[in-house]
A and B are shown apart, each in its own frame.
Chain A
Amino acid sequence: DAMVIQNPRYQVTQFGKPVTLSCSQTLNHNVMYWYQQKSSQAPKLLFHYYDKDFNNEADTPDNFQSRRPNTSFCFLDIRSPGLGDAAMYLCATSGTVGNQPQHFGDGTRLSIL
């Protein structure tokens, strides 16, 4: 059974049109992460939450924002997508006791027209 669920699997949007990607988890993990991954490159961390404590990476563009209304759900908002934002967006979760592995969702592949 999928434990980190991302919807939709594929998303097409127009240049400049806001888009929201969603992630839910059944693991009850405190920490949730959003990554951007391009063309089999390494996943690049955009931001993460510990509960509702939001942590932005220094080089994450202002165009990207996130919301976490409760433990189970997290959203990635791209306010004005550009062509360079076309990528796979991965959500992951982890626990917080000691070193915990991250568990990834299947990702949302975003295309920009």
Chain B
Amino acid sequence: GENVEQHPSTLSVQEGDSAVIKCTYSDSASNYFPWYKQELGKRPQLIIDIRSNVGEKKDQRIAVTLNKTAKHFSLHITETQPEDSAVYFCAAPYSGGYNKLIFGAGTRLAVHP
């Protein structure tokens, strides 16, 4: 079955710096990779996703890259701001149901002013 590993578990950056979070997956058939942001006490919110037919997708300060050969995908946040501080989860689909996702363990990002 699918397995998703996420690194680092914590990340601390200065405001304005870039942040990169990396995930690896095991199932070569996986073809959809969402990223969720979860602020303290709130619901996970989809911030960006990528499908396996593209290698990169950008949305303002956020980008995701996908390397299907190496089976990893990364979240890039540029010009970080304090409001980017949250826990970020990557996810990948796994079989046996409809759009089932397995989540990475999460990365706690702290952006210091």
Contact = CB atoms under 8 A, between A and B. Distances in A.
Interface of A: 30-31, 33, 40-43, 45, 48, 50, 55, 90, 94-96, 99-107
B106 A42 contact: yes
Between A94, A95, A99, A103, the greatest number of chain B beta carbons within 10 A of the residue's beta carbon is seen for A99
A31 B98 contact: yes
Contacts of A43: 44, 89, 103
Contact of A94 (B89, B98, B104, B106): B98
Range, interface on chain B:
20 to 34
Contacts of A42: 89, 103-106
Given A40-B106, A42-B103, A101 B46 contact: yes
Between A90, A100, A102, A106, the greatest number of chain B beta carbons within 10 A of the residue's beta carbon is seen for A102
A40 B32 CA distance: 23
Nearest to A4: B43
Given A99-B31, A99-B51, A48 B100 contact: yes
B97 A102 contact: no
